[in-house]
A and B are shown apart, each in its own frame.
Chain A
């Protein structure tokens, strides 16, 4: 066992897949000699060569499009978005070309698009986004969003091996903040489509993913201490396809649910989760489904503004307390 950060776990997963399968290659901006803006691919160009770690022009549509073409030919490209905010430049390519390829034309497109997401880092409106809702609506894509070091590694490996295109969202606030003991020499794989019970409880459930898993765990700890509430936390890990069974299990167990995400509220993933609970577990509910999310504004830069806009541990505590008393 060795203690590794979330970022190092991701790096190890990528490295191991590059070693295992010669069809895996990386392309993106500054990923080669420089090693990537966050050093996820540091040392890769030296080990695997420039042809497998390709520095590209600032052209997200070309990065994703070229990855798709290579994937059709049996390669397994991993395309890096330097910041996930820039994935919107490749929105057409991902939603119209990549996502539809298997369905409309029987074309296999095994590729991963990954990049650093999320706020709490004073990144401002264009280095803090969570883009999942924009792609969540698109049949043909898969979306994973690890919260732990183990899943950062397990999901990148599973995403690379998946036969369909996967958007892998990694939270930059977690990169060096989260550490975990991971076994060495073991092929760690996290199955796509399976949620993880991050904390067991019986009074109330928090369904979440990404960085807010940690905020939810903090809130659960505080509620246990201050309110003697037993809070269950479900880490979705994969958003598409969503693990409905795990969501319904926790709803049926605690009968009260708070959905938390860092992304903005309107049209966000929480709305879809709420709708599914309504359709599949309505009679199990003892209270309204609550959403704790960012406010519907572009994410501002100043710490006072960012902290106000984003969901904080205290927001989760307050919302859960209110629901528990309902």
Chain B
């Protein structure tokens, strides 16, 4: 029996204790995420994006809503996003121009051209970029949450983990360590049906990822990941529970990865009608808009205005950075250590 410590698949009857401005702000982040990714696709097709492009299409709802449940601002809660949690980073204060620069490997990008896409961080704003070794961020975020506990700070960590990555050893070790130490950590387990091309039944033998929580002695709950307000409410509950000293909480969000692993992947392994259904019947942004309008909490013209602002913001950010230079080659030798600050090029380079 899976522990259900928070409201689950039913949508909240009221807008989850959010104000009208907050409901609109969530919409703004959803739209900004989607608009930014659409722009990245265009830049990818123009070969301006240097490496792969990873979409969160269909998963923006859970990314934005879960991050929105955290305390934001200077040195507040910290989350660790995965490749499909762009929306969560925007919520925490990452700027679209930073993401554009990262994808285009610009000298002015947050990692100065060293790392890809959303792999960057700003601990003061509250996000710690992932590395590609999935699962590794769970122990690291356990250590951050441990620090909050040791210092008696009322702060919470949140870490995302994909369905496939729950098979890793570091996920297990990190979650177990966090549970034993009762650190303030919320784990968002994203059941998006595809780990590259591998379906869940080849990844684990449980039905719901929330069942795994039981093995660690922490609550696990399954939420409709494309219901923005349900994800917000479940995360809010888990976050406040963690902040209150009650330890780790796992939230499984059921969602769907509507694009391939990356843009190069044609998803031939995905049934076409399944994709169509998720796009037409279960798009998180469409569903959120419908609810806002049906509840008469916002007006359509307000949403349209936000759409226009999002597009203008991405236009401005793109224009500002698309022609920027890449980093100079020899900048690659600085910053491996605090001391020495930089290496010297191999001697034959100066022959």
A-side interface residues toward B, CB under 8 Å?
Answer: 25, 51-52, 54, 56-57, 59-75, 77, 92-93, 96-97, 100, 102-108, 139-140, 142, 162-164, 241
B137-152, CB < 8 A from A: 138-147, 150
- The segment from B17-25, B46-54, B126-134 found at the interface with A is B126-134
With an 8 Å Cβ cutoff, the count of chain B residues facing the other chain is 38
**Which residues of B have CB within 8 Å of A105?**
111, 114-115, 119-121, 129
Is A69 within 8 A of B143, CB to CB? yes
Q: How far is the CA of A65 from the CA of B136 in the complex (A)?
A: 7
Say yes or no for B56: interface residue by CB 8 A criterion.
Answer: no
Distance to closest chain A CB from B231 (angstroms): 25
**Which residues of A have CB within 8 Å of B329?**
none
**Which residues of B have CB within 8 Å of A65?**
136, 138-140, 142-143, 170, 173-174
- Number of residue pairs spanning A and B whose beta carbons lie under 8 angstroms apart: 131
Distance to closest chain B CB from A26 (angstroms): 12
What is the 8 Å Cβ interface bit string for chain B, positions 93-114, against chain A (1 contact, 0 not)? 0000000000000000001001
Is A107 within 8 A of B170, CB to CB? no
Is B177 within 8 A of A56, CB to CB? yes
- The segment from B61-69, B206-214, B315-323, B334-342 found at the interface with A is B334-342
Say yes or no for B181: interface residue by CB 8 A criterion.
Answer: yes
Q: How far is the CA of A61 from the CA of B135 in the complex (A)?
A: 10
Is A62 within 8 A of B336, CB to CB? no
**Which residues of A have CB within 8 Å of B111?**
104-106
Q: A66-B142, A69-B147, A70-B143 are in contact. Are A103 and B114 (CB under 8 A)?
A: yes
Is B139 within 8 A of A66, CB to CB? yes
**Which residues of A have CB within 8 Å of B120?**
105
* 27 pairs of residues in contact across A and B, judged by CB atoms under 8 Å: A25-B150, A51-B150, A56-B177, A59-B173, A62-B174, A65-B138, A66-B142, A66-B143, A66-B146, A66-B174, A69-B139, A70-B144, A70-B147, A70-B150, A73-B123, A73-B144, A75-B147, A96-B131, A96-B136, A102-B336, A102-B337, A104-B119, A105-B114, A106-B335, A139-B336, A140-B337, A164-B338
Q: Interface centre among A54, A66, A74, A93, by most B CB within 10 Å?
A: A66
B-side interface residues toward A, CB under 8 Å?
Answer: 111, 114-115, 119-121, 123, 128-129, 131-133, 136, 138-147, 150, 169-170, 173-174, 176-177, 180-181, 335-340
Distance to closest chain B CB from A325 (angstroms): 34
**Which residue on chain B has the smallest CB distance to residue A67?**
B143
Distance to closest chain A CB from B109 (angstroms): 11
**Which residue on chain B has the smallest CB distance to residue A65?**
B139
Q: How far is the CA of A255 from the CA of B296 in the complex (A)?
A: 87
**Which residues of B have CB within 8 Å of A93?**
136, 139, 170
Q: Interface centre among A74, A102, A106, A162, by most B CB within 10 Å?
A: A106
Is B136 within 8 A of A97, CB to CB? yes
Q: How far is the CA of A307 from the CA of B153 in the complex (A)?
A: 54
**Which residues of B have CB within 8 Å of A51?**
150
Q: A66-B146, A70-B144, A70-B146 are in contact. Are A54 and B181 (CB under 8 A)?
A: yes
